[in-house]
Amino acid sequence: MADWSWPDGKRLAVSIVVNVEEGSEYSLAEGDPITEPVDELGVSLKKPIRNYGNESNYRYGLGPGFRRIAALLDEYNIPATFTAAALSLERAPHIARYIADGPHEPCSHGWRWIHQFRLDEDAEREFILKAADSIEASTGKRPVGWLSRYLHTENTRRLLTETGFRYHMDDYSDDSPFIDASHQRPIVILPYALDSNDMKFWIDPSLTPDQWLKYAVDTFNWLYEETAPQPQYMSLGLHLRIIGRPGRIAALQAFLRHVRSHKDVWIATRAQIAAHYASAQGLEQ
């Protein structure tokens, strides 16, 4: 592996990932056999009963949640990666326009926010292509990255390489990019982070915004100070319906302010990070 560094000698890269899943989650209204199980209240429905309350929780993300996050990205001049389910962008054209008109990148989070690991190879290939075509139509930008809903199949990464994707996020093994060259076409792996993800607010109701902020800042500070074998980046995953709440959004503001106080940090989209790393390794993309 060739030696490399971040652009202009930057000390650390930071990737802000905004997940857009609202409007494409499981719902009986969509003809799904189950009700969306991811619920802030932790309600576990044993029968397929439509959960109108949880549906409204998701709609919150498309309205006030998105507006608050977008305002902070604009205020602090943050280029973000929007990992979006394609159908969500079709149903929320204001978010698609925001991605299209700004420095942001759309990354594919599937056609819908559903479990693709249940798909056979042909169905998964169609799922991947349908998502990419839809996101390109919505934003004018074709996605080059992919993030599954939790699990993927043994075919996923190969199918991504065959259909023009340049990086894959379904990995938690490192704080640095690396290359998977096990398929006909190599692909950059940009590991995601679950420990600093704002989904922790839904998983652990006792978590306070101050505690989440401290964890995020501690993660940033450690990576910033650490002398690693190779350059590292921090991945911070966000959700419109979660961090976008009025009692939590100030924590995100404080984190972005902290990051921006460091002039030798590269805040970039994942597409930019992947392209830089691929070029540094002599990988043709």
Closest CA to 22 of 242, 226, 204: 242
In sequence order, which residues have a C-beta less than 8 Å from that of residue 262 and are 6 or more positions away? 11, 12, 224
Tokens representing 259?
A: 């990051």
Which single residue is written with the structure tokens 């139509």?
137
Q: What is the CATH number of the domain that holds 223?
A: 3.20.20.370
> 197 lies in a domain?
yes
Is the residue at 174 inside a domain? yes
Q: Kindly tell me the burial class for residue 259, based on how many C-beta atoms sit within 10 Å of its own C-beta (0-12, 13-18, 19 or more).
A: buried
On whether residue 2 sits in a domain, the answer given is no
**285 is a domain residue:** no
Q: Which pLDDT does position 232 carry in this prediction?
A: 96
Q: How many domains, in total, are found in the chain?
A: 1
In a domain, 265, yes or no: yes
| Ordered mean pLDDT values, 10 residues apiece, the chain (285 residues) | 89 98 94 90 82 94 98 98 98 98 98 92 96 98 96 92 96 96 93 97 94 98 90 97 98 98 98 97 80
| C-alpha distances out from residue 279 to 112, 179, 214, 282, 285, Å | 32, 12, 34, 5, 8
Residue 166 to residue 276: CA distance in whole angstroms: 12
Residue 155 lies in a domain: yes
Residue 209 forms part of a structural domain: yes
In a domain, 208, yes or no: yes
Q: Is 58 exposed, middle or buried (0-12, 13-18, 19+ CB in 10 A)?
A: buried
Q: Which residues pair with 106 in a beta bridge?
A: 82
Question: How far apart, in whole angstroms, are the C-alpha atoms of residue 160 and residue 14?
Answer: 24
Q: How far apart are CA 274 and CA 268, in angstroms?
A: 10
The residue range of the domain holding 143 is: 7-280
Measured in whole angstroms, the distance separating CA 45 from the mean position of its chain's CA atoms is 27
pLDDT at 1: 65
Q: Which residues contact 14 (CB under 8 A, 6 or more apart)?
A: 220, 233, 234, 236, 259, 265, 266, 267, 268
pLDDT attached to residue 42: 80
